[in-house]
Structure 1
């Protein structure tokens, strides 16, 4: 069963330009070499930040629905007949019959079936149809982990790290996280890469972690897609074909709704990082991240509206986004000067728009 990625470690790459926090530019003319930059208030963190709770509607650079109208799509390939064993316990679980799933899985779990043990642990850990029981969930996750179930090893590693249902044991947690990653669990691959980076500071750790980020990214973990994009853009001695894929990986993470990736992709498009400049698409990605509540994107969007980069100039919209980012604690002297220089009625309109803002 799929298990979402969990943020485990704080991370900061010292000395890498892409991760360096620099002050917002005071001038954003389109002729400048670097039109916008990273904000200067972001704390050290993993490759992931909290995602917006709003809509995941996002720009598309593919074929739109109107382009498809009237075009015959290829037929879907025929489904292959499944001839393998049917797991009635998991079938019941997937249909929401949790007590039935428990009844069917328990005899197998008691006989040492790791998959059944993982299912029992999942039901107990979430309290699905039964009273939530973290301690017994940890017991069954532990048994399944001993039996080599990758999902169980990942979940058990998290419980060992947090001391949830079991005594905290970092060494054992790291061992199971590594085993789960080596077994191909995508969330474990991401988290093991984070552990490798933390235990091996600098470029050495990043290079050791990169294969795990790559495997996890291929399986759709947006955190890892973002990490791969940044590492492809900054690590030395990588093959040129990988460096050329940095923007594509950033776009994948952005399309998945990862607001930090949307912010960075917008900056990359405006500044021409990892490919040609595209002010319009850069503006669209920054606006999407800003509407999702990303404060740094709100700050950058104000600059784009002031300087007509990817959008017509709009002092009220610029002031609105500045007011929102300032309220969130992101100071910017150049935007403050702009705001104080506009008309009183424009300031009033901007404040009213900011007051009406809701994350989308």
Structure 2
């Protein structure tokens, strides 16, 4: 299996919402290109798509030679937030504009507040005071604060401040003014003006400008008619060559997904992803591990041991997909010594970050007593419950079954069972549909209709759930809810038997013993043709 086939269904989701960054609906841009890459959108993994903008400048805005920075920086490094805040307060009392800047920054980050939480009202007050003193860094951070408030009036004020700053500060003010134009602060979103500002900001050394300019060309800000993957790749390449790890990561990922549209070679992907990993981009470490594990992207030979080491690094950095992959490798002994206890630990780490897949797997482990763990129904029930709440369909199904049968620490509760089974069924879980149909057949759901049961069994058999075939055979054999049809019933019993249902063989043999030879042969033929139930 190629890495591309792994990436597309697992991590390459279009999760970027332009509202999160630019505060507006995707817009149809003007113009376009005749290139084949136009009007396409690059799917980005969740961790690669931007959900927030870069932080406002802090100490670096004043420079390391600034005397106040030299006093405050060591205190912050040592965690002496109170002492740092006191130093800054003293500077403010003396009328220092730099003091106002640092006071605003400490308030906006929570480093200078008593409870450690950001105080944006206080930050705005300090930045405004510094702005009135002609302090450009205060003006810039005030504009950023106002822009990120999402209040239309404040965003408009932010744009006015940025317009004045951009002439002397194309690097930072230009980047943020570009965001304002993309957001359509004063008018309709302006793709061209934003891109021009980002281009100048990138030339001035702003790595985030390279990143967002590329994202815009890749369609992540809307404007589908302006999407151009060649340009996105070129911008990210320039950013990567300038040392921006985030650009290297996006470029490497794009080459894995669609190198042709980017006008480059997939074999260069590993180079850029490796650069991203070296630049402490944890997603880069993960993607490099995927390349080492599967080959491709310029990696000449698979190296499972190296992949496991990279997954370990990414997992230690808190990256959940790496935790899940590491758990899989430890469980299977793939590239590393088999370590089921280590696999459980990796899953627990992922679960601590509320990953539903991890809860699902832990639920199965505790329910079955695998991986060296004792059977613990209570732990299994809690895991399935948490996973179900987080939206995992399999967890919802197991929770529904537990409520139906009074297992895994839950008392029997048909109403709760129905809720969870219905939710998982609607999410496409064929086993949940089968379980729900069985509840209806046995009268555990009041007012059940045969049409509903049949529909659920259709979903079950389409999902190759053996018990769904067995249940449909039972309906056709006893004739209580459907017209009796022994031939079709036997066909479904044999289908269920072939699919692995443990009860199907006995039922099939018993029914077959009462049938004539012609009917049995007809049932065998029909069984081979069956794909989903019909009323027969």
Considering the TM-score relative to the shorter chain, is it more than 0.5?
A: yes
SS in 1 for 2:21: coil
Match of 2:417 in 1: 246
1:191 to 337, 350, 361: 361
Residue 514 of structure 2, aligned match among 331, 341, 344: 341
- Aligned residue runs from structure 1 range 36-75, under 5 A: none
Please give the alpha-carbon distance, in whole angstroms, between the structure 2 residues aligned to 1:196 and 1:334: 33
Kindly provide the CA deviation profile for residues 251-308 of structure 1, in whole angstroms up to 9, marking residues without a partner as x: 3333444443232222112113355533332233234423544333222211101223
CA RMSD of aligned residues (A): 3.4
Higher helix share: 2
Q: Does the 8 A contact of 2:434 with 2:467 survive in 1?
A: yes
Conservation of the 8 A alpha-carbon contact between 2:378 and 2:408 = no
Q: Which has the higher contact order (CA 8 A, sep 6+)?
A: 1
Which among 327, 330, 354 is matched to residue 160 of structure 1? 330
Structure 1 residue 93 corresponds to structure 2 residue 232? no
Contact persistence 1:316–1:349 (CA under 8 A): yes
* 1:145 partnered with 2:315: yes
Match of residue 469 from structure 2: 298
Q: 2:270 aligned with 1:102, yes or no?
A: yes
3-state DSSP of counterpart to 2:321? helix
CA separation of 1:312 and 1:216: change in aligned 2, threshold 3 A: same
Contact 1:281 1:310 in 2 (8 A): no
Distance in 1 (CA, whole Å) between partners of 2:395 and 2:509 is 36
**Structural mapping, 1:235-274, within 5 Å:** 235=407, 244-273=415-444
Residues 158/314 of structure 1: CA separation in 2 closer, same or farther (3 Å cut): same
Q: What does residue 117 of structure 1 align with? A: 285
Task: Give the 3 Å change call, closer, same or farther, for CA 90–207 of structure 1 in structure 2.
Answer: farther
Question: How much does 1:144 deviate?
Answer: 0.7
1:356 aligns with 2:529: yes
8 Å CA contact 2:285–2:311 kept in 1: the answer is yes
**CA-CA distance at 1:224 after TM superposition:** 1.3
**Change beyond 3 A, Cα 1:320–1:291:** farther
Contact (CA 8 Å) 1:117, 1:141: kept in 2 or not? yes
Alignment deviations for residues 64-105 of structure 1 (CA, whole Å, 9 cap, x no partner): xxxxxxxxxxxxx99443553654424652533454543333
SS in 2 for 1:81: helix
In the alignment, structure 2 segments of 5+ residues that lack a partner are 1-6, 11-16, 23-51, 55-210, 212-245, 260-265
Give structure 1 stretches of 5+ with no counterpart: 5-76
Asked if 2 retains the 8 angstrom alpha-carbon contact of 1:287 and 1:301, the reply is: no
Choose which of 175, 179, 182 in structure 1 pairs with 2:345: 175
Alpha-carbon deviation of 1:238?
5.2
Return the alpha-carbon distance in structure 2 between the equivalents of residues 103 and 254 of structure 1. 44
In structure 1, C-alpha distance between the alignment counterparts of 2:324 and 2:9, rounded to whole Å: 9
Per the alignment, do residues 336 and 171 of structure 1 end up closer, same or farther by CA in structure 2, a change over 3 Å counting?
closer
Residue 127 of structure 1: aligned partner: 295
Shift of 1:324: 3.0
Could you say if the C-alpha distance between residues 79 and 351 of structure 1 is closer, same or farther in structure 2, counting changes exceeding 3 Å? same
Counterpart CA distance in 2 for 1:156 and 1:138 is 7
CA distance, structure 1, for counterparts of residue 332 and residue 470 of structure 2: 36
Say whether residues 1:81 and 2:24 are aligned partners: no
When residues 171 and 305 of structure 1 are mapped into structure 2, their CA distance, relative to the original with a 3 A threshold, is closer
SS of alignment partner, residue 342 of structure 1: coil
